[in-house]
Amino acid sequence: MENNDVYNKNAGWGVAPVYFTAISTILGAILFLRFGYATGMLGFFGVIFIIILGHAITIPTALAISEISTNTRVEGGGEYFIISRSFGLKIGSTIGIALYVSQAVSVAFYIIAFTEAFEPMFNWWQHSMGFELPRQAVSVPALCFLSYIIMKKGTGIGMKLLYIVNVILVLSLLFFFIGDPITEGDSETSVIDNLRFLNKDSFFVIFAICFPAFTGITAGVGLSGELQNPGRSIPLGTMAGTLTGLIVYVLVVWKLAVSAPADELIANQLVMSKIAVWGAVIIPIGLASCTFSSAIGSIIVAPRTLQAIALDKSFPVRRINIFLAHGKGKTQEPVNSCIVTFVIALVFVIMGNVNAVAGIISMFFLITYGSLCLISFLNHFGSPPSYRPRFKSKWYISLGGFLLSVWVMFMIDPLYTVLAYAATVVLYLIVEHYNKDQKGLVNIFKGSIFQLNRRLQVYMQKKRSGMDDEEWRPAAICISQNSFEREKVLELMKWISHKHGFGTYFHYIEGYYSKQTYLESRKILAQLIEQKERGNSLYIDTMISPSYTSAIAQIIQSPSISGMENNMVIFEFDKNKPDELTRILDNVNLVKSGDFDICILGSSSFPVRYRNGIHVWIRSIDEKNTNLMIMLGYIILSHPDWSKSYIKILKISPAEKKEETKKSIEKQIAAGRLPVTHTNIEIVTFVENQTLGEIVAEHSKYAGLTIIGFREEIIKHEPLTFFDDFGGTGDVLFVNASTSRNID
């Protein structure tokens, strides 16, 4: 097992920065400037539908981010890092560039919205001076000031400002909620009209304008490089920010709907200032605070995304990668990437149209969110053993988020959707051309194709119709004559092949291949298939051969129907029949010549005691076997039979090294994200002259399954003595790995 540190030693931020970065973006420009307009146009229930639909996309995305971030060590680059490490650098760079553009444009969007807080000043200027002052007179200096502060002082000053503006934001919303309704006066509409669903034809146009309000959920993810423990801070901060925003949105829309008539809501983008107590002052200050803080969040996150892309050398020109990857100081502040972000934001600030910029942001963010949901879904469907997130979502939630993202894009504007995806494809082709050695489209669906192939093959076998993977997973084969007398090895094969691996079981028929033995094999095969329970993913076949040794030689050379190379051979013997063990041991060296992992199941007469757990015994001399034993325990535990069970790690150690050994095991378990609690790690000391079998029997006599490693030397020197020593224990799985496995 690789001993990786799961935390970022050079950073110290926790949950709060993720939460406040997200919430300051969620409760931002759209809330103050466009929710009133949306409520006037669509009515209360129309905007509630926008909120529900927006969160139907963003909540699955938040869950997907939380899930993926607890499955891998998240470094700098936030969403880009997650996508690139899940889909590969070709896809990651393509979507990452689109994500970066949307983040950089977001800086401009929030600065433009920030300028709207000075509307009273612009009105005064026009009234006093006789001509209109361009909004850029405020927005351009504000952008320059913000960029200077971030590049000069770094993200630390940005986070301090975030805390201050969040306090102002809370106060401005509080004053809004306690404010009185606007007197309707000569208005042609009534607040009663606001409680209906109005102008349904304009729904998706207004949705596109309002959607950037929901994009703040991922703002805090971009701080991943500065977080002490991203696997904890990202899920907690992201989900807390999302739920807070949802509640506040509903309350604000209700307050708007019952406090002002529709024509007032539509005509006045700062209508909240007429409702709030001291609104003429507090709402512009709140708007300025939240939009400026959102701009801070975006200008902190966007350069880090660009820097991460450059660090992966994704751009075709080496000098560009070096320039953009350059960092300053201990925390590697992305100074050059900040400059590029400033230039892009400046272009859109000069454009100065909030609605146009909002539409651009919506399209690119929807592509990103759909991708994140798709990653989560494919990982669920593909079920790679390395996908062991601490935070778990559901596959159908992720799939729903992906499908909704695509559907909403087409509903907003089919032409722009096609153009956005076309631009993404072109960008991918460019990235692929200059990064041919990286993972691409072929690798995206590898795990899913494996699962689909596995299920299809088993399905076709049941209906009588009749991978080479970079990541290790078991492809086990087993041969036995005792298919109808003993079922435990069939159960073991069923557990292994349920979710993470593939199993092929051969019923051995001793004899020469002939018409008679062939018909016999077909009859036996039909019986075995019929006996298989529903949902069993084990593939069954028969093997006719004149001797046990020749049968083994045949099956280890046979290709697996899963498309993978077989990598594990499983034997089985009755612990009360030592002659069966002798026949197995005589053939171990034959199997070892093919570099197979070898498992020998010693079956007892006791039923499987699932609730008593899987006991994995670790010895210092079994270093090569350790990770395979732990992985097998985890894979077996994924079967529903073991749903109420657990894995227990027992490490044999001298008494003087007990505490040191326990800490080492706990660290390995944490780094491997394995479902083993600290209470299920036991350090076992031994007394002089006590045999291994006696030690194991003392602690694992009633275990559901005991897993123990054995070395090749055992086969050469009195193997029967070793295997017979465990007569006092229940079912024992002896494991010998061909090579040491890594648990990522």
**Burial tier of 275 (Cβ tally within 10 Å: 0-12, 13-18, 19+):** buried
Backbone angles phi, psi at 509, to 5 degrees: -115, 115
Q: 3-state DSSP call for residue 644?
A: coil
Could you give the CA distance from residue 96 to residue 89 in angstroms, rounded to a whole number? 9
- CA proximity to 420, closest of 382, 493, 368, 349: 368
**Pairing between β-strand 568-574 and β-strand 475-480 as defined by DSSP bridges:** parallel
Count of CB atoms within 10 A of residue 534's CB? Answer: 5
In what side-by-side order are the strands of the sheet with 568-574? 539-545, 502-510, 475-480, 568-574, 597-603, 732-736, 705-709, 614-618, 647-652, 681-684
Distance CA 338, CA 341 (A): 5
Nearest in space to 97 (alpha carbons), one of 285, 439, 371: 371
In this structure, the strands spanning 568-574 and 597-603 are: parallel
User: CA 641, 646, 647, 650: dihedral to nearest 10 degrees?
Assistant: -130
| Cross-strand bridge partners of residue 543 | 508
- Backbone region of residue 647 per phi and psi (left: phi > 0; alpha: psi in -120 to 50; beta: other values): beta
Identify the sign of the CA torsion 329, 330, 331, 337: positive
Name the nearest CA neighbour of 52 among 408, 410, 413, 290.
408
**pLDDT score recorded for residue 445:** 62
Predicted confidence at residue 571, as pLDDT, reads 93
- What does 293-362 look like in DSSP terms, one character per residue? HHHHHHHHHHHHHHHHHHHTT-SSSHHHHHHHH--BTTTTB-HHHHHHHHHHHHHHHHH--HHHHHHHHH
C-alpha span between 528 and 456 (Å, rounded): 19
What pLDDT score does 506 carry?
92
Averaged pLDDT, groups of 10, the chain, 744 residues long: 39 72 77 86 90 88 76 65 73 80 83 81 82 83 81 62 78 89 61 74 84 73 64 78 88 89 83 86 83 76 84 82 80 81 87 66 79 80 69 83 88 81 81 66 61 66 49 85 86 88 89 91 86 70 91 85 78 86 88 89 89 89 85 89 89 76 73 68 78 88 92 80 85 90 67
Per-residue model confidence (pLDDT) at position 1: 39
Q: Is 689 left (phi over 0), alpha (psi -120 to 50) or beta?
A: left
The class that CATH gives domain 604-744 is alpha beta
Closest CA to 73 of 392, 296, 417, 388: 388
Q: Specify the 3-state DSSP secondary structure of 163.
A: helix
Give the pLDDT score at 469.
44
Helix or strand holding residue 396 (H, E): helix 395-412
Q: Around Cβ 253, how many Cβ atoms within 10 Å?
A: 25
SS3 617: strand
Q: Nearest CA to 326 among 301, 304, 346?
A: 304
Distances (CA, A) of 478 to 286, 462, 491, 565, 710: 69, 19, 12, 14, 19
Domain spans, the chain: 15-441, 448-571, 604-744
At residue 466, the pLDDT reads 41
Estimate the crossing angle of helix 335-351 against helix 136-153, to 10 degrees: 170
- Alpha-carbon gap, residue 353 to 691, rounded angstroms: 80
Position 10 scores a pLDDT of 43
Task: Please state the CATH superfamily assignment of the domain spanning residues 15-441 in this structure.
Answer: Amino acid/polyamine transporter I (1.20.1740.10)
For the chain, the C-alpha Rg in angstroms (whole number) is 32
From 538, 485, 531, 534, select the one nearest 508 (Cα to Cα): 485
Q: H helices of 413-514, where? A: 414-434, 441-444, 446-462, 488-497
